[in-house]
Amino acid sequence: MRWLFCLRTIPLIIAFLIFLGCSDNWVNITANVSLVKEELRKSEPIGNGHVNNKKVRPKGSPAASIDFDGQIAMRHIETQTGFGPRSPENPNAKLQTLSYIRSQIPSSMEIQLHKFNANGFNGTNLWVSSRAAKKKSTTLIMLGTHWDTRSQADRDTDITKRNMPVLGANDGASGVAVLIEIAKHLHKQPPEINVDLIFFDLEDIGNIGKNAYAMGSREFVEEHPKYRPTAGIIIDMVCDKNLRIPREHYSSLSAPEVLSRVWASADRQEANAFKDIRGGAIIDDHIPFLEVGIPVVNLIHFPFPKSWHTTNDTIKFCSVTSLDQVGRVVLDFIYQYSSNY
């Protein structure tokens, strides 16, 4: 029996010797896996995206001539934050912001105010419409963002500041800034399709008391049951210096074709902030539309930046480059939709 035992142990000895010879490689593999996990967890700097930089934009196409100016968009952020937090307890700042947005919309576009009451709060959605000149297109693209800010900085590292309102340079003002400039582009170079831009109120007081997120967009969808855009994009938190926009989970599940079009635009515009990986499941203004079968996607920074829901959400952490990338991608999306009409 002893020789049988020896025969049985020979494979184990050989395996052990092989393991010793490969141990260095095993350590390297384990280390690489850990690095990958850490890279996915943290925000990446701009420049490490999925885009193939060797791709060339089609000559003569609308996408090739997009000159979205992130610097002008940054000035819109500066103006909004100058009014102060745009939360329910600051009605003067909200009135100033609404007035400012309206003043920046080209005269060729129709503006409607959708006033509503949700959970005891009075809100106003600003609905801007750009219609194709020939009036023949039935395609309607909806672009949306929220213009309100959070009442409490409940994620601030300084617990003494957690009851202070958030200024919302990124979480609020950045989306508004991009849509204002997109409106001006659509005025100068009208697409062959219809485009709506909706600035939603009361998105960002969720989980404060019994309030929900995305109350303004939900009220809009419920009160306009016949409103059925062909596709839509919600943009939120898009100015951070380390902007990172992955494929948001609910968008991937419920509006994959729209999301694919957006990423094709990101390719054409060489927008490295757009990451071709699955992101988190986010409750935002796209959800009420998805719930009624309207394919709307969410472009949002994830994982959320450190300034999220803190008193540090200021213009100091905003980037002209980030605003420029998002603006060009959304405009490319619209003009490509138009060219395929």
Whether 43 maps to a domain, the answer reads no
Q: How sure is the predictor about 246, in pLDDT bands with cuts at 50, 70 and 90?
A: very high
Residue 313 CB neighbour total at 10 angstroms: 31
Domain that residue 162 falls in: 66-339
Per residue in 105-147, pLDDT tens?
999 999 999 999 999 999 999 999 998 766 678 999 999 999 9
Written as six digits, the tokens of 188 are: 């100068």
What span, in angstroms and rounded, lies between the C-alpha atoms of 186 and 90?
32
Q: What is the pTM of this model?
A: 0.82
What span, in angstroms and rounded, lies between the C-alpha atoms of 154 and 163?
7
Residue 229 CB neighbour total at 10 angstroms: 19
8 A C-beta contact, residue 261 and residue 201: no
The pLDDT of 85-113, averaged and rounded, is: 97
CATH number of the domain residue 96 falls in: 3.40.630.10
Whether 189 maps to a domain, the answer reads yes
Whether 5 maps to a domain, the answer reads no
Whether 15 maps to a domain, the answer reads no
231-236 β-sheet, strand order: 110-118, 121-130, 194-200, 140-146, 231-236, 296-300
What span, in angstroms and rounded, lies between the C-alpha atoms of 208 and 201?
15
Q: Mind giving me the DSSP string for 214-236?
A: -HHHHHHHHH-TT---SEEEEEE
- How many domains, in total, are found in the chain? 1
Whether 183 maps to a domain, the answer reads yes
**Looking at residue 14, what is its pLDDT?**
40
- Phi and psi at 128, nearest 5°, equal -110, 135
Whether 58 maps to a domain, the answer reads no
8 A C-beta contact, residue 133 and residue 156: no
Written as six digits, the tokens of 15 are: 């395996």
Q: Which residues neighbour 257 within 8 Å (Cβ) at sequence distance 6 or greater?
A: 295
Whether 3 maps to a domain, the answer reads no
Per residue in 38-65, pLDDT tens?
233 222 332 333 333 334 344 445 445 6
Whether 8 maps to a domain, the answer reads no
Q: How sure is the predictor about 66, in pLDDT bands with cuts at 50, 70 and 90?
A: confident
